Structure formats: structure tokens, C-alpha cells
Structure 1
Amino acid sequence: MVSGRKPSGFSNTLAQLVVEHPWRALLVPLLIVLFAVPGLRGLAPDSTYRAYFHEDDPLRLQVESLERRFANDDSVVLMVHNPDGVFNPRTAKLLVDLTEEMWRVPDVVRVESLSNYRWVEAVGDDIAVDPLIADDGPFTEEFLGPRGEAALQHEIVPEYLLSTDAKTALVIGFVRPGDELSSPAPGPVIEAVREMIDRHRDPDHIFHITGRVAVEHALMESAQRDMQAFVPVLLFIMALILIAVFRRIKAAAVPLVLVILAVVSALGIAGWLGVRISNITALLPQFMIGIGIATSVHILNAYFAARRNNYSKPVAVQHALAINAVPTVLTAVTTAVGFFSFMTSNIIAIGELGLVVGLGTIATWFLIYFFLGPLLVLLPERSKKYQGGKAPLDTLSIGPRLHAYVGFLSSQKKLIAAGFVGLIVLALTVAMNNQVNANPFRYFAEGHWVRDSNNFAEEHVNGAQGMEVVINTGVPGGALEPEFLRQVEAYQSWIDTQDGVVKTISIVDILKQTNRSLHGDEQSFYRLADDREALSQLLFLYTLNLPQGLDVSDRITAEEDAVRISVKWTLYDSALATRSAQQILEYGEGMGLNVETTGKMLLFQKLNGYVVNSFFTSIGLATLLISLLMILALRSVRLGLISLIPNIVPLVIGAAALVVVGKSFDIGTVVVMTVCLSIAVDDTIHFISAFRRGIVDGLAAEEAVKRAVKEVGPAIAVTTLVLVCAFGVFTFADFVPNQTFGFLAIVVLTVALLVDLTLLPVLLLLLYGTHPARAVSQATVREPVAAEVR
């Protein structure tokens, strides 16, 4: 036998079941996979707002109200640049062709460009509303030259459809609003626009694609491309390290197959539950790989330690499974509970991620014990004669270096503890300087097409993004009351003066232009009419000449009870955008207007405001639940509370590291830190469980720490090495959130290793070092883990 202590029933029964009936045990993972695989058909990507905001979320309701009453503000923007200017015959004809083809792009329901912008001008005593560049021309210098000069002097066209140097023109395609059944997929839209560019590409023109539809597509495209490129590399690195450490092919092959099954199982569960694959839930593979490898390494470490001590394969497997049964169950439960706590988040994707990873963690535990365990028994191993009756594994010799190391920790425990307190205070001080912020264009590395396009847009047309302001009257027809429109005009003029605002567009601009044209294009009449009847006539005259698909329903509601101001700005940072939107909202309310600030881009910028609430609520609840579970499982309040410290410290230092490298908290960094927490919890539980076994066996605290370091230290180190090297490859990704994932994995997991092997032993020595082992209450430290293997 490996130990003289009587094992717990659960641990030994489980281990014996696997060792004595390996083929039957394999039925468990088979059933899990058979259940999961059909669920894969239910997986579907969704990068729209519906993957993040609940149906009753006020921000979502505002956007959907905007879509119903006006139109969708989601757009794809095609920029056409000619260094010689766009008002020449060839470029003008190109703009006409591109405008016509944009109408045929999937889900595009409205197109605006220089080609179809409605030019309002006086014709005798009447007005004419004609396209700025008609489909049938004329495409001559004589015609286009004056049109270009007039366009640059126009109140709306410059920096909306044309750069101020007349060298860049925009073709804007607005996509249809979503409905209860579906939302427009950005992929087909962007691919169709790319095909348009390919058909018209020539040396004289430069093309760029931007707009929120482009950002939406690029986010999913980049995340998927990085997964396809780096997950195989990640698995390959894991295999190399496991082979190098354990010097066995099966030490790499079995865990890799296991984590693949864990990923498939989690994705299958997601499919069955109808979880949509967003940029957040797309992190599932990394989460399951990390959780699966961390637990597998502890079992492999115990197994190969027994083999090196010359125990037979069945005995070594039974020992490894028995000694790790309760710690791995406790890890699985605490990790699952931690992730389940994310279901309280008001962000759908985070809640769905928590649900699936929680269930996936439980499924992974069953896969590990009923797949890894049986294969260790069944797979052949190089021949060797084994002798029974070796020394118990719990009393393996502890080398002089380990003696010296733990002796140093014991002698300097107060100094080390004080040093960590100072480090934690410093890290907290630094971390407090961070802010919740995100810039969607900074999610892409330099050279990425979306980032290059946005840089081009900022340089030539002052950007192409913004938000929407809806002003309600609450009365049908109230939007055409002169007093109301004068208030809107004053409000719009104030918005134009705000930092970052490039241009605003509303029905007021159209009414003022039409009024001027009706009075012979005299500039003094560029103002609102004085009475409601005149305003109604101006609107009627303007709309009378509009073609189908280009009416004013995007500026004033059909009931004429609300108007919309489109605000184009260069505020891409979520912190700046949300702050400015709040100021605009408050100013409008101060004028007595019923105002809403909304729009798809602003919606996602406000999403980061939910991160703080989601993070602290979920982490707080997870910490509370995990601490209670640890106290109950360890049957010690002191050990339960101590176990939390090594898990929180790496997160605090990771948060400080983000500040040092100039990264802000956003939805991605918060979620990434969660997987690091789950792995840190795993290592801490194994260390404390090993320490408790020593205390129960009658060892003094220092000797129990030595045994814990000897028993689980190598597994903790190998787990950290594997995951740091494997996840670290993501620092080379194109998608910046994946770069952050790699960076945080390196920092948090490395710090977690140092804390588990320094601060945690010091805390245990401080609390138990003054008491001999026999003075420790057996009720307090009752051993839950079996180590006996016959």
C-alpha cells in the first residue's frame, strides 16, 4: 500500500472503479461526447447587439425604437479616393456605378452618396430636387466643375459625403433593421462590397471600407482567424512541454485528446442551450483548454511520481486518481460556481459564457477521471520490472534544497508577508488609476484593414462614426411646430460646438435649404419658416421630388411626433463618447426637450459601462460562494479564508500590469482574467489539500509545507509553464483582445505560481507554525482525501 491511512470511501471507490473497469469507465466520456456532438449544429455566430443586451435593457429598447420609428443607423461606408479629385468624368461615373451596385448589396435598404444626394435649387418660382450627379450625367468637366464647387459650399455635403479637399467621396449603405427572427449578418455585406471594389479597382483610385458593419464583421473575422491560427500552435506547445517534462508520448497525447473532447463538449452544450457565438463566448476553447490541462497535470504528476518510485501501473493510476479526487472535485465545483455567478451579469454574452463554462467544467472533470484515468491503465508503456512494497509515496525523501527553501520561508515568514502586503498595496494603488474604456478600432493591430480604413477616414473626412439624438414631442404633428423646431435648431447648433463633433444633420437643415431655394436661393432665407403651414408645405415640396428609398423617414417620424439629429464625431474611446453623450443629453433636457441619445456605435460604447457592474458583482458573488465552499470542504474557516488570498493577489497585480502597459479595463480583459482565476484556484486547492494531509498524518506545519511543495509543487510549476507558454503565443495575434489575453495569462499565472509557492506557505506557517501537529483539532482539519492504494 502507498500509505498507512485508511482512505475515504469516495476517493478510493472512484479510483478502484476506474482501474478495475477501465473499459466500462470509458462509457462515461463516450456518452458525454455523444450527447454534445449533435448540439454543435445549433451553434451560430452573432456579433450583433442582441448577443449582449437583454430584451428589456433600456439601451437596447432605445436602439430598437430608433429602428422602428426612423431607420437603422448601421451602415457600411465605402470611401473612394482620387488624388486628382472626385469631380472628374471617370470618378463621377465610378461613383454612379458604385451607388447603383451598393443598392444590390445584401440587406442594404438605403444608399447615400454624391450620386444620389438630392440637390435643392430654385427653378423660377419653383424648386427642383435633383441628384448632385445624375445617373445619366453629363460626365463633363464643364458640368462637374461647378457642381464640385457648389458641393464644397453646401451645409451638409462636406465631411458627410465628401472630404473638404474634394478628393474623397463616400458611398454609404444603410442595412435593414433586425427583427424578431433575425438580424442582418455583416459578413455577406462586407464580402459584397469587397467584390464591388475588385470589379472597379484601378491605379487612379484608392478604396477603403469602414462603418459599424465593417467593425462588427472584422471583430468576428479577426477572432476566428486568430483561433484557427493559434489554437493549433497552443496545443502543439502544450504537447512539447508535457513530453519534455514527463518524457512520455502519452503524457501529451492523452491530455490533448482530452482537452479537445472538453472543447467539443462545451461547444455542444452551448449549441443545445442556444448560446450564440460572440466575441465573448468565442473564448470557450481557451477556457476549457486551461481548465482541462490544469487538472490533468496534477493527476499525471502523481501518476509518474508513483511510477518513478517503482509502483506498478494500476497501483500508480489508482494512487493518482485517489489522491486528487477530492481536490479536483472541489476545484471543479468552485470553478463552476464562480462561472455560474456570471449569470447575474446584465451582459448576455458574459452570462452565457458563465453558464456554458460552468457546465463544461463539470463535464471536463468527468472526462478527466473517466477518460484520462482509463487510458493511463490501458495504453502500453515501455517494459520495466516493478517491485512491490516500496516506501509510501507520502514519505518520499525531501531533498536539501527543498529543506533549505522551506526553512528560509519559515525563518523569514513575517518579512515575506510584509513584503507581499506592500506589493499588494502598491498594485492596488496602481490598479485604481485604470479606467473602463474601449476603442473598437484599437482592437485591431496596425496594418489591419479596418484600422487602416478608420485612420484614412480620420485623416480625410474626420471619421465616419457617431451617434443619434432623438427628440420627442409626444404629440402627432408636434415635430413641425415652429417653436419646437427652433428649439431643435438651437440644440443642434450647440451640439456642433462640442469637442470631437464634426457635423450634425437633421430635418432642420432640409427645411432651411428648401426655404432658401423657394426664395430664389437667397442666403438670407436659409432659415426656418415662421409658421406651421409654411413648414408643412416646404416639407411636402421637398419630398414630392424624392425617389423611392430616399424619403425623409430617417429624419422625421411618419406621425411627425419626433425628429432625429445624426451626430458625426471623432470620439471613439468609450469613456469619451459616453461622457459626451451624457452631456448632450443633459443639455437637451435642460432646454426642456424630451431627448434620447442612442445609436448602435454608442450602444456598444456604453456596453463597457456594464463591465464594472458585471465584474465586481460577479467576482464578489463568486468570491463569497467559493469561500463558503472552501470552508465547508476544508472544514476550517482559517484555511478557507487563506485559500482566497493567493487567488485574489494575482488578479490585483494583473490589473496593475494593465495600467503599466497602457491598457484599460474592457469587457475582454475582465472575462480573460476569469480563466486565470479559475486556474489559480485549482493550484491553491491542491496545495492546501496536500498541506492538510500532512497535518492529519501528524506532521508539524513546516514538515507539512515541505510535503505539499514536494507533492504538488511540480504539478503547479508544470501547469504554469504549459499555460504561460501556450497562451503566451496569443501576444503575437492580430486581434488586440487576444494579445491582451496572452499578456494577462503570462502575468497572472506567473504571479499565481510565485504566490502559491511563497505567500501561501508563509500564511500556513504563520497560522499553524506555533502549534504542534497533535494540537490541531482533528475536527478542524479532518482529512477528506484518500491516499491509500492497495
Structure 2
Amino acid sequence: MTEISAGAARLETFGVGVLRWRWPIIALTLLFVVFMAAGGQYIKISNDSRIFFSEDNPQLIAFEALEATYTEANTVLIAVAPKPDTQSTSIFTNDALAAVSELTELGWLLPFSTRVDSLTNYSHTWADEDELIVEDLVPVTGELSIQDLARVEDIALNEIQLVNRLVAADGGTTAVLVNFVLPDESGEAVTEISDQVKDIVAAARLAHPELNYYVTGSIITSRAFGDATFDDLATLGPIIIGVILVVMALLLRSITGTIATLLVVLFAAITAMGFAGWTGMILSSGNVGAPTIIMTVAIAHSVHIISTIMLGMRTGLAKREAILESLRVNFFPVFLTTITTAIGFLSMNFSDAPPFHNLGNLVALGIVAAMIFALTFVPALVYILPFRVRPRRTGQAEFFDSLGAFVVRRRTPLLFGMTAIIIGLAAGVPQVELNDNWTKYFDDRYEFRRDTDYIINNLTGVEAFEFSLPAGGEGAINDPEYLARVDEFAEWYRGQPKITHVSAFSDIMKRLNMNMHGDDPAYYRIPEEHDLAAQYLLLYELSLPFGRDLNDQIDVAKSATRMTVVGRDMSAKEQRASADAANQWLKDNMPAEMVTEATGLTMMFAYISKRNIEGMLKGTVIAMAIISLILIVALKSIPIGLLSLVPNFVP
């Protein structure tokens, strides 16, 4: 017996076994799917944006070190602005300031909140002879006079720590910024915080109908990712099922065939998602599309099996013989396609983002499950259910027969034509940029996107670059030379493109120096002596109210300070360029002990696409090498095996 006939005999035996044990196969399949579906109750969906970063991601490590030194950066920013149809276009009115004051007080009541900054509670400093006065910019004493409102406006719009951060330069928008320290399991905390923020904003709209409110921040971003995940699960699944039903009904024109195909893709998706639940896998917006991908890819297996059965029955074979012939013809191609496709998706494990690892693993599992169902459950179901096809009339040509004849007949022009098209399209590959903007991950359906766009256009940016600037020793942040260097770096960054705000410790010290010299603007500069600067800082810290300390800007040992740079509407490419320029400036202009690199959530996202692409390219090369070897061995031909890679590379 030849090798081919031996293989055919084994496939014949397999097919006969499937039909003989059709009822047990269907029963076991249904039991297995029910068991896997039960795992769905344990699926965990995370709305933590940091889930996209692996534990050894250098940007994540740097950011966590920054948060450990200072405070965590988990924020909610609530912007307030007069409605366009109101008389006033300024937020420096009693009504607007009252609304801001109320939001400030409510911000302290939010779960896990540790700090609230706003225009009304800004720690304004001034001198009363030799005494330093630290008080809220807007006192809670009822309505302010026109003169008091003008004074508050003048101070706010000339305060470098407020403009383009908590108040717009034109005075048309202000904001309340709340910071949180989240527990280790932050998912429920994010939901709880965002829900309560929604409630207090809704109440504020009722209390002050003449004002508009806009909400953004890292907490709201995380919630938006979670909401988008649920939306995808709720909308894409039914859509793809509907498309499958329509397409299969039109192509197969068989109720049994359509039902069998639909069940296979559903079973495959359920198997993968059930596995995610049973194994404690965490789903996020980065991998929630797995069921959709599985159903899209897995449909081909069943179509091959069923269409070949229909073809056999049209040529006069009985249903049993047509099923056996379909298994004989399709077993090897379906198996080979499944293995190579699964390897391709498994290559996503080379990505730097853990959600993409899960995405690749789930899709690979779903595709393998679909193959098993297509080779066992589908033949068994078709054999049991009524399955009739319309016999093909003599001389009637199938569409794909005609297509095949056309390709053979026009092979030369098709070869050169397609080659030219491929080369032309490939010429655009070098133009691809590793560039994105995380706010544009969401469309205008999401209130988060609309609110963030307003804040970017009317108040401040949402891209923050963080720098921890070492001073060289304990208490060294009071060294005038160090403060001058920090101030020089801050002024350089203020002149960079798309930078809206820079918060530096040197600004505080310059203001304190001015205050301690009778508020003389000529003394708005760095203190001249270390001891004097230390005295000013101590006096200032002792005067600050609860929750307004400087722990977010200076470390405990007073050996380093934090500088925050805010950019507006910057793409990932622009963010990387800005950070690289800053890193280089520090190397060129600062002593070695002050050289550091930009970090922050913004930098993490700015580099994630670049790191993912680099990892995926490595994975793709390895996957294609493995697939090449499999095809060469399976097809027993090096030329044909290599040629079969073209349809994989070209798309």
C-alpha cells in the first residue's frame, strides 16, 4: 500500500467513525461547550490603562519609581465654563466661583482622594510686613464684590502655576483637579470614583444651569477603556453573527449548512472566552475583539466542509458518501491552515503589551477549537439533519470553476499585473509612521472624547511629561545653584512647541523670595542663599493647610524635585520627539547628577506602539520561518512551500 492510499484509508476510517458515533459526538460537543461557557462568569474585565504594559516595560518601571518617590498620578479633572448663551464669558463671577468651590469640597469626599486643587483653594501667598500669609485665593465668605472679583482674576491670570492648568489664559474656563491613591485592585475603585464623579457633576449642572461641565483625567480614561470594552462585546458580537447568517444563507442556500456553520463559530468563540474565564485571564480593550476575530476566521473551516458535501451531492453522491469525501478532501488542508494560522496569532506573544498576548492565545485556541468542531460536529450534525441540495444541471458552470479557468487562461497578464500592484503598494510601507494619539482611540460617541477635546482646545493639554530632578543630597533642593538650573530647564521647556504649562519647584521659591521682600516684583527670582531658601520653604510648608503639602513636588529627604510639563494635542511621535529633546538638553546643560529622563503615563503610551511593532516584527519573522518549514514538509516541495508564503506576506 502506498503512503497516499494509507493516508486515505486512515481518513476513511476517521470519517466512518465520526458518522458511526455521531450522537455521542454531538452530545459530548454540547457538554463541552456548556462547560466552557460556564467559565464566562469568571471573566475579568480590567479598565486599568496600565494593563497594556508588561512588568519589565522601562517606561512603566520609571513611572512607578516616580510615583514611589512623590505621589501617584491618578486624576480626575472637572472643567467648568459659562454656557455660550449666557451673558458672561468669564469664570470670574460669583456663580462660577461658587460652583468651583462646591466641586472642590465634594472632591475631598470622593473615595481614595488625597488632594484637590482648584482656583478657589489655590494657596495664594503674600506679605504682611515681615509675615508670610498663605490663604485660599477665593475665601468662602459669600459673594465677592466687583473689586474682589477683579483682584482674584488679576492674581489668577498672572500666576504661572495656574494659567493653562487650572484656569485658561482668557479666563473662560477653569478646573478642579482631584488626585487619588488607588488600591492594588484598582478596577472597582475606578468604577466607584467615576460613578460618583458623574453624580456630583450631574448635581452641579442642576445647581448651576448657567455653566457647562467637562470631565477627563486618567481615572476617566481608564473608565472609558472599560466602557469601550463592554460596548464592543455588546455590539460587535451580534453584528458578526448577523453577517454570518446572511452571508451563509446567500452562499450555501441551506438551512442546515447555515445552522452548522453558525454553531461552529459560536462554539469556537465560547470555548476561547470560557477558557479565559476558567484560567483567570484578564480582558481589556486590547483583547476583547478575540471573539469577533475567531468567528471571522473560523467560518472558513465549516464552509469548506459543507460546500464540498454539497458539491458531492450535486454530482450524484449520497449524503453519507459526500460527507466521507468532504472529510477526505478537506481534512489535510483544514488542519494545515489551522496550524499555520494559529502559529501566526501565537506570534503576538512577542508584543510588549500583555493584552495582545492574551488576544493571540485566545484566537489561536478558538481557531483550533473551530477546526475540531468542523471536522467532527459538522459532519455528525449534517448527517443527522435533513440536508438537500439542488442537483447541478448539465453544462452549468460554478462561479469558481469559471474563475479558475479565467486565471489559467490569463495567467501571464495576471502575474505581471498583480506583481506591479504589489510592488506599487509595497512602496508605501516606508511611509508608515509609528504614531498615534490615545484620546483619538475613542470617537465622538463617547462623552469622554468630547469633554477631553473641549479641555484640550480651551484649557490645558492632557499629555504630561514628568521629570524627577536630583539635587545631589539631602536638603540640596534649597541650593540656589540647583534651583537656578531647575528654573533654566523649566524656561527652556516653556518655549517648546505645543507646551502649555510647566510646573517647577523653582517657581514656588521665586514667589516666596518675592513675598519675603515685601512682594516687590524685582525679587521674583531664586533666593541667593541656601539657608535663606530653606527658611522660606519651611515657613511656607508650616503655613499650608491640610492636603495642600508639597509631597507631590519634593521628596521626603528634600533631595529631588518633580517637574511636570503639560503638552496639548500631541501625537505619540511629537511626544517622543519632545521627550528626546528634553533628555538631550539635560545631558548638554546639566551636571551629571541632574541628568534624568522624561517619564509618566504619556510617555508609556508614546512608546507602546513603537515597542509593540518592534516585538511583533520579530514575532512575525519567527512565525513565518516556522510556517515555511511546515509548508515545505507538508507539501514535500521547497518551491511550492515557499510560493505558498506569498499570499501570507502580501496582505
Mapped pair 1:102 → 2:107 = yes
Indicate the residue corresponding to 1:419 in structure 2: 417
Indicate the residue corresponding to 2:178 in structure 1: 173
Match of 1:243 among 223, 237, 249: 249
Q: Deviations over 1:757-786 (max 9, x none)?
A: xxxxxxxxxxxxxxxxxxxxxxxxxxxxxx
- In the alignment, the residues of structure 2 paired with residue 238 and residue 5 of structure 1 have an alpha-carbon distance, to the nearest angstrom, of 37
Kept after mapping to 2: 8 A contact 1:88/1:140: no
Kept after mapping to 2: 8 A contact 1:67/1:177: no
Gap change, CA 1:5 and 1:462, over 3 Å in 2: same
- The residue type paired with residue 528 of structure 1 is I
Kept after mapping to 2: 8 A contact 1:87/1:166: yes
Gap change, CA 1:401 and 1:284, over 3 Å in 2: closer
- In the alignment, the residues of structure 1 paired with residue 290 and residue 401 of structure 2 have an alpha-carbon distance, to the nearest angstrom, of 41
Kept after mapping to 2: 8 A contact 1:177/1:184: no
Once the two structures are TM-superposed, the CA of residue 213 in structure 1 deviates from its matched residue by 2.7
Once the two structures are TM-superposed, the CA of residue 405 in structure 1 deviates from its matched residue by 5.1
Alignment of 1:7-86 (within 5 A): 8-30=8-30, 32-82=32-82, 84=88, 85-86=90-91
- In the alignment, the residues of structure 2 paired with residue 455 and residue 59 of structure 1 have an alpha-carbon distance, to the nearest angstrom, of 26
Indicate the residue corresponding to 2:199 in structure 1: 195
Gap change, CA 1:445 and 1:345, over 3 Å in 2: closer
Kept after mapping to 2: 8 A contact 1:269/1:360: no
Match of 2:286 among 280, 283, 286: 280
Match of 1:510 among 504, 508, 511: 508
- In the alignment, the residues of structure 1 paired with residue 27 and residue 66 of structure 2 have an alpha-carbon distance, to the nearest angstrom, of 53
Once the two structures are TM-superposed, the CA of residue 441 in structure 1 deviates from its matched residue by 2.1
- In the alignment, the residues of structure 1 paired with residue 385 and residue 270 of structure 2 have an alpha-carbon distance, to the nearest angstrom, of 23
Once the two structures are TM-superposed, the CA of residue 380 in structure 1 deviates from its matched residue by 3.2
Kept after mapping to 1: 8 A contact 2:310/2:389: no
Gap change, CA 1:344 and 1:455, over 3 Å in 2: closer
Indicate the residue corresponding to 1:303 in structure 2: 309
3-state DSSP of counterpart to 2:76:
strand
- In the alignment, the residues of structure 1 paired with residue 165 and residue 603 of structure 2 have an alpha-carbon distance, to the nearest angstrom, of 19
Match of 2:157 among 152, 156, 161: 152
Indicate the residue corresponding to 1:758 in structure 2: none
Q: Deviations over 1:594-622 (max 9, x none)?
A: 21211112211221111320231121111
Match of 1:340 among 338, 343, 346: 346
- In the alignment, the residues of structure 1 paired with residue 99 and residue 404 of structure 2 have an alpha-carbon distance, to the nearest angstrom, of 76
Gap change, CA 1:197 and 1:50, over 3 Å in 2: closer
Alignment of 1:214-229 (within 5 A): 214-229=220-235
Once the two structures are TM-superposed, the CA of residue 553 in structure 1 deviates from its matched residue by 0.6
Kept after mapping to 1: 8 A contact 2:232/2:289: no
Mapped pair 1:92 → 2:90 = no
Mapped pair 1:636 → 2:602 = no
Mapped pair 1:452 → 2:447 = no
- The residue type paired with residue 635 of structure 1 is K
Higher mean C-alpha displacement, 62-71 vs 236-245: 236-245
Match of 1:530 among 514, 528, 531: 528
- The residue type paired with residue 623 of structure 2 is A
Match of 2:270 among 261, 264, 271: 264
Q: Deviations over 1:256-309 (max 9, x none)?
A: 222222112111222233322121111111111012212111111112222323
Q: Deviations over 1:492-522 (max 9, x none)?
A: 1111111111110021111111121121111
Once the two structures are TM-superposed, the CA of residue 642 in structure 1 deviates from its matched residue by 1.2
- In the alignment, the residues of structure 2 paired with residue 567 and residue 184 of structure 1 have an alpha-carbon distance, to the nearest angstrom, of 30
3-state DSSP of counterpart to 2:537:
helix
Structure 1: gaps of 5 or more residues = 651-790
Gap change, CA 1:485 and 1:9, over 3 Å in 2: farther
3-state DSSP of counterpart to 1:116:
coil
Gap change, CA 1:335 and 1:556, over 3 Å in 2: same
Gap change, CA 1:405 and 1:351, over 3 Å in 2: closer
Once the two structures are TM-superposed, the CA of residue 381 in structure 1 deviates from its matched residue by 4.1
Kept after mapping to 2: 8 A contact 1:81/1:167: yes
Once the two structures are TM-superposed, the CA of residue 184 in structure 1 deviates from its matched residue by 6.8
Higher mean C-alpha displacement, 355-364 vs 331-340: 355-364
Indicate the residue corresponding to 2:365 in structure 1: 359
Indicate the residue corresponding to 2:121 in structure 1: 116
Higher mean C-alpha displacement, 214-223 vs 502-511: 214-223
Indicate the residue corresponding to 1:618 in structure 2: 619
- In the alignment, the residues of structure 2 paired with residue 597 and residue 639 of structure 1 have an alpha-carbon distance, to the nearest angstrom, of 51
Once the two structures are TM-superposed, the CA of residue 554 in structure 1 deviates from its matched residue by 0.5
3-state DSSP of counterpart to 2:332:
helix
Kept after mapping to 1: 8 A contact 2:456/2:569: no
Mapped pair 1:377 → 2:383 = yes
Higher mean C-alpha displacement, 612-621 vs 465-474: 465-474
- In the alignment, the residues of structure 2 paired with residue 636 and residue 507 of structure 1 have an alpha-carbon distance, to the nearest angstrom, of 69
Kept after mapping to 1: 8 A contact 2:347/2:616: no
- The residue type paired with residue 490 of structure 2 is Q
Kept after mapping to 1: 8 A contact 2:554/2:562: yes
- In the alignment, the residues of structure 1 paired with residue 546 and residue 496 of structure 2 have an alpha-carbon distance, to the nearest angstrom, of 35
Higher mean C-alpha displacement, 244-253 vs 15-24: 244-253
Once the two structures are TM-superposed, the CA of residue 177 in structure 1 deviates from its matched residue by 4.8
Kept after mapping to 2: 8 A contact 1:129/1:545: yes
Match of 1:437 among 423, 435, 438: 435
| TM-score normalised over the length of structure 1 | 0.76
| TM-score normalised over the length of structure 2 | 0.92
Match of 2:133 among 128, 147, 167: 128
Once the two structures are TM-superposed, the CA of residue 8 in structure 1 deviates from its matched residue by 2.2
Once the two structures are TM-superposed, the CA of residue 172 in structure 1 deviates from its matched residue by 0.9
3-state DSSP of counterpart to 1:554:
coil
Q: Deviations over 1:370-405 (max 9, x none)?
A: 322221122234699x9xxx99xxxx9884987775
- The residue type paired with residue 127 of structure 2 is A
- In the alignment, the residues of structure 1 paired with residue 356 and residue 306 of structure 2 have an alpha-carbon distance, to the nearest angstrom, of 32
3-state DSSP of counterpart to 1:71:
coil
- The residue type paired with residue 597 of structure 2 is E
Indicate the residue corresponding to 2:485 in structure 1: 487
Alignment of 1:628-667 (within 5 A): 628-650=629-651
Kept after mapping to 1: 8 A contact 2:81/2:213: yes
Once the two structures are TM-superposed, the CA of residue 142 in structure 1 deviates from its matched residue by 4.0
Gap change, CA 1:101 and 1:401, over 3 Å in 2: closer
Structure 2: gaps of 5 or more residues = none
Once the two structures are TM-superposed, the CA of residue 565 in structure 1 deviates from its matched residue by 0.7
- The residue type paired with residue 8 of structure 2 is S
Indicate the residue corresponding to 1:562 in structure 2: 560
- In the alignment, the residues of structure 1 paired with residue 471 and residue 274 of structure 2 have an alpha-carbon distance, to the nearest angstrom, of 49
- The residue type paired with residue 330 of structure 2 is N
Once the two structures are TM-superposed, the CA of residue 367 in structure 1 deviates from its matched residue by 2.4
Match of 2:575 among 566, 577, 587: 577
- The residue type paired with residue 533 of structure 1 is D
3-state DSSP of counterpart to 2:632:
helix
Once the two structures are TM-superposed, the CA of residue 346 in structure 1 deviates from its matched residue by 2.2
RMSD over aligned Cα atoms: 2.6
- In the alignment, the residues of structure 1 paired with residue 166 and residue 399 of structure 2 have an alpha-carbon distance, to the nearest angstrom, of 72
Gap change, CA 1:332 and 1:383, over 3 Å in 2: closer
Indicate the residue corresponding to 1:690 in structure 2: none
